[in-house]
Amino acid sequence: MKIAFISTKNAVRSIMAEAVARKLSKLALLSLEIYSAGVEPAKRVPEEVIALLKEKGYPTEKLYPKPVEKIPYDQVDVLITLSPEARDMCSYSEKHMRREHWVLEETSSMTKEELSKLLEQLESLIKTLFKIS
């Protein structure tokens, strides 16, 4: 099964979701392919996001902003949009068995505490998605 997290810049929300989903799917022994992308990708992932993910034990290698065209978008089984722009710009494919939009805080200029709360929120949503506790 393939899951994609799509946001505007693919620098905070979707990058965090990709990291969390990869780790949790391995811990739960789920055979999943996890992707993230942005409809208008940033040039880089902010250092504070990478530092927080590392601090919380999430692998950060291979995490970089990429456009939707760089992932197998039309082959994704579960499509999750994480920003209004992504929701509006991502067309629904018949291949997508499930599509969701998660309403999350805007991520421009977030404090470390706000980033931590966002990460906790994503952990909870992904655990629910994977049906793990």
Give every residue of the chain whose pLDDT is below 70, as ranges. none
Q: What class is the 2-130 domain? A: alpha beta
pLDDT score recorded for residue 109: 80
pLDDT score recorded for residue 82: 96
Is there a contact between 81 and 14 (Cβ–Cβ < 8 Å)?
A: no
Is there a contact between 3 and 32 (Cβ–Cβ < 8 Å)?
A: yes
pLDDT score recorded for residue 78: 95
pTM for the complete prediction?
Answer: 0.94
Q: Which residues contact 128 (CB under 8 A, 6 or more apart)?
A: none
Domain boundaries, the chain: 2-130
